Amino acid sequence: MKKIHQQQLINAIIWVGTAIAIAINPAKWMIPMIIGYFATASSLKLL
């Protein structure tokens, strides 16, 4: 598996999780967005 594909897969999983978290609790949508953003940023730095 190439690093680019692995990265896209990780990002997809992070953002699906973020979308589910927002769907469960729409009032607190900022928290999962921030977590998703930092998770994406940190996973980019790992490569």
- The pTM of this model reads 0.65
Which residue type, as a one-letter code, is found at position 12?
A
pLDDT means over runs of 10, the chain (47 residues)? 82 90 89 86 73
The whole-number pLDDT of residue 10 equals 87
Burial class (CB in 10 A: 0-12, 13-18, 19+), 27: exposed
Per the structure, how many domains does the chain have? 1
Task: Give the residue numbers spanning the domain of 38.
Answer: 3-46
